[in-house]
A and B are shown apart, each in its own frame.
Chain A
């Protein structure tokens, strides 16, 4: 009868104080198995001196949990990974995939730190392997931290990015081929790599350049407007209708409802909505119409109050300003919708404005407004909500029109200049699209031609 071996192992950095851990049980006669399967998961040979293998023979079959004090212990075996013989847990020889030939790790250049690219070269025949398992261990002065899972990738991939690393630490990486019968030997990087952070995030260079170009266009035309250059901007019907809507509410003796979306002030659409509110409330103050602004964020309520109060002051109607008309309802999306819809049905405002960031509530609000016969003007940059507003409102500011509303309504040369700059940037974008379409078409017709090369160059420049 074969008696089992009880195996303990350690990453023995300090032989006088080894941290023994139970590794497994194997049958007598399969010493190689000890070196292969039972402790394979913890075998990450950084150098040949790291692993001290312990084999405790217990003839009675009992597991001795204190191998250091048992006479049957065999210690001091520095195991060489390459000499391992593949066995399964029953001691039967199995076919395991070949290990990766070489594992390289390098810091990803021009990034914010914290990411290392791990690549490896697979054996010419990966055998039955189905996937690679990549692990990492942080190199400390006293040794290595336990190996942690990084990623699992299909067998045909040979590169992986290890994210969320500390920029002040160095790491070793291991790659193991895993098949149905077992895992290959573990291949590790020879040196520890540090994921250093860089001054600039290179992957965002195209975006950075695009922002610079758009900004340059906008600033150039702002300065041109200041120098007196006339700026002509096309008429936007929805914004022209604001005065009519406020006038209608005044004539009917009903209130104006303004909903600045359901997001907070950190959303640019909410800020754009508040800028439009400033203009609407100024018109309302001049016409002596009551304005109601339900908000779903406390901070938006405060910003809206400031904007409306300033508008009433500017219109010379400070006495008519009613802070309670601008109120906080709830952060809860559909709770807010319930209140606003109910309010619309009960109070029947003559004009409803929806200017900001909206989601599923857009259609509920707009349809309720439609059912009470209010004149409705909406504006949002949420492209998925635009069809609902177009279907249910009288006028809709589509995306960029909404963003341009404040500048358009102000009529100030500076702001009109910024719109002109925006249009020039749009023309540049349109030109790039046309060039891209022509090149892509040419590349499709002649895959090896100049156009294909030009297309690849353009893609590289634009970072796509």
Chain B
């Protein structure tokens, strides 16, 4: 029963969502399913917050390595939750100017908005900026000319890279018009439009078929491993 009920919920919800994409009469049912998912996800957030608190409190109480960070996490979580729910510093909305809580929680001037703007955004931007260095290190490793395939990959990458810079235009700008197709900027466009698009579409077609087959396995109850090991 523990697995049968979730399986049938998934089957019914899945078929409703599928039909709602084609039959307008079931469209509202599909929207309802979407709403139900949002409600369940919102309720599940309580479980998530509980897990976060439990793990970090355990770390603090046991004085595990890095327990101080756990304390900071919990303090920040509590502060953000409090100022968000309490709408501290939220200016009244234009519609209800007499009511202090009528504005949006992240309106300009609110503490929640301030935390988002001046703490969260810079921190997440910093993490995102690290990506540039990781791209460089991954490219360095990927483009080592170890074998024929790697040499082809390296050559192609080199053409595309140069073709998208001024250097590429300058380097092959001397080529006459009848050989303009060999100019780096044109070669770059050709590689991206033909080879890259063809390969990408092949992957996307495979993904689409895979998604259909996977969905079908779940909807037909053939694959139940998302609820466990399938045994």
Further 15 A-B residue pairs, CB within 8 A, beyond A301-B51, A400-B210: A112-B24, A215-B212, A218-B217, A266-B37, A302-B44, A328-B52, A363-B134, A383-B207, A386-B203, A390-B142, A398-B206, A399-B206, A402-B210, A421-B213, A422-B213
Which of B51, B139, B207 sits near A327, CB closer than 8 Å?
B51
A298 touches B226 (CB 8 A): no
Known: A364-B130, A426-B206, A429-B205. A415 touches B228 (CB 8 A): no
A425 vs B206: C-alpha distance when bound (angstroms): 10
Q: Does B215 have its Cβ within 8 Å of any Cβ on chain A?
A: yes
A278 touches B230 (CB 8 A): yes
Q: Does A309 have its Cβ within 8 Å of any Cβ on chain B?
A: yes
Which of A272, A275, A335, A400 sits near B206, CB closer than 8 Å?
A400
Q: Does A35 have its Cβ within 8 Å of any Cβ on chain B?
A: no
Q: Does A118 have its Cβ within 8 Å of any Cβ on chain B?
A: no
A398 vs B127: C-alpha distance when bound (angstroms): 26
Total number of A residues with any Cβ neighbor in B under 8 Å: 88
B138 touches A391 (CB 8 A): yes
Chain B residues whose CB sits within 8 angstroms of the CB of A248 once the complex forms: none
Nearest A residue to B120, CB-CB = A332
A414 touches B222 (CB 8 A): yes
Chain A residues whose CB sits within 8 angstroms of the CB of B65 once the complex forms: 346
Known: A201-B22, A301-B51. A418 touches B217 (CB 8 A): yes
A314 touches B48 (CB 8 A): no
List which B136-164 residues lie within 8 A (CB) of chain A. Answer: 137-139, 141-142
A298 touches B47 (CB 8 A): yes
Task: Please encode chain A, from 208 to 239, with 1 for each CB lying within 8 Å of some chain B CB and 0 for all others.
Answer: 10010011001100100000000000000000
A327 vs B52: C-alpha distance when bound (angstroms): 7
A337 vs B127: C-alpha distance when bound (angstroms): 8
A425 touches B209 (CB 8 A): yes
- Give B202 Cβ to nearest chain A Cβ, in Å: 9
- Give B230 Cβ to nearest chain A Cβ, in Å: 5
Nearest B residue to A312, CB-CB = B229
Task: Please encode chain B, from 188 to 231, with 1 for each CB lying within 8 Å of some chain A CB and 0 for all others.
Answer: 00000000000010011111011111111110101101111111
A218 touches B135 (CB 8 A): no
B41 touches A298 (CB 8 A): yes
A309 vs B48: C-alpha distance when bound (angstroms): 17
B210 touches A367 (CB 8 A): no
B228 touches A307 (CB 8 A): yes
Give the contact stretch, choosing among A185-193, A348-356, A404-412.
Answer: A404-412
A328 touches B222 (CB 8 A): no
Chain A residues whose CB sits within 8 angstroms of the CB of B229 once the complex forms: 278-279, 281-282, 307, 310-311, 314-315
B130 touches A400 (CB 8 A): no
Q: Does B58 have its Cβ within 8 Å of any Cβ on chain A?
A: yes
B47 touches A302 (CB 8 A): yes
List which B10-50 residues lie within 8 A (CB) of chain A. Answer: 21-25, 27, 37, 40-41, 44-49
Which of B134, B205, B207, B228 sits near A311, CB closer than 8 Å?
B228
Q: Does A392 have its Cβ within 8 Å of any Cβ on chain B?
A: yes
A401 vs B123: C-alpha distance when bound (angstroms): 35
- Give B195 Cβ to nearest chain A Cβ, in Å: 14
Known: A271-B226, A391-B138. A334 touches B213 (CB 8 A): no
B226 touches A303 (CB 8 A): yes
A204 touches B51 (CB 8 A): no
Q: Does A247 have its Cβ within 8 Å of any Cβ on chain B?
A: no
Q: Does A388 have its Cβ within 8 Å of any Cβ on chain B?
A: yes
Chain A residues whose CB sits within 8 angstroms of the CB of B23 once the complex forms: 199-201
- Give A50 Cβ to nearest chain B Cβ, in Å: 35
Known: A214-B209, A282-B229. A410 touches B44 (CB 8 A): no
Q: How many A-B residue pairs have CB under 8 A?
A: 218
A268 vs B203: C-alpha distance when bound (angstroms): 16
A383 touches B204 (CB 8 A): yes
Chain B residues whose CB sits within 8 angstroms of the CB of A414 once the complex forms: 222
Chain A residues whose CB sits within 8 angstroms of the CB of B98 once the complex forms: none
- Give A84 Cβ to nearest chain B Cβ, in Å: 41
User: Which of B44, B134, B209 neighbours the largest number of chain A CB atoms within 10 Å of its CB?
Assistant: B209
B213 touches A214 (CB 8 A): yes
Task: Please encode chain A, from 314 to 358, with 1 for each CB lying within 8 Å of some chain B CB and 0 for all others.
Answer: 110000000010011100111101100000001000000000000
B228 touches A278 (CB 8 A): yes
A415 touches B217 (CB 8 A): yes
Chain A residues whose CB sits within 8 angstroms of the CB of B21 once the complex forms: 201, 204
A111 vs B127: C-alpha distance when bound (angstroms): 45
B222 touches A383 (CB 8 A): no
B51 touches A328 (CB 8 A): yes
A199 touches B225 (CB 8 A): no
A315 vs B229: C-alpha distance when bound (angstroms): 9
Chain A residues whose CB sits within 8 angstroms of the CB of B62 once the complex forms: none
- Give B204 Cβ to nearest chain A Cβ, in Å: 6
Known: A334-B127, A363-B134. A407 touches B217 (CB 8 A): yes
Chain B residues whose CB sits within 8 angstroms of the CB of A295 once the complex forms: 48
Q: Does A299 have its Cβ within 8 Å of any Cβ on chain B?
A: yes
Nearest A residue to B231, CB-CB = A314
A98 vs B228: C-alpha distance when bound (angstroms): 70
Nearest B residue to A414, CB-CB = B222
Nearest A residue to B230, CB-CB = A410
B48 touches A297 (CB 8 A): yes
- Give A390 Cβ to nearest chain B Cβ, in Å: 8
- Give A218 Cβ to nearest chain B Cβ, in Å: 5
Q: Does A240 have its Cβ within 8 Å of any Cβ on chain B?
A: no
Query: 8 smallest A-B Cβ distances: which pairs?
Result: A310-B228, A298-B48, A403-B210, A328-B48, A400-B210, A334-B127, A400-B206, A298-B44
Chain A residues whose CB sits within 8 angstroms of the CB of B213 once the complex forms: 214, 218, 403-404, 418-419, 421-422, 425
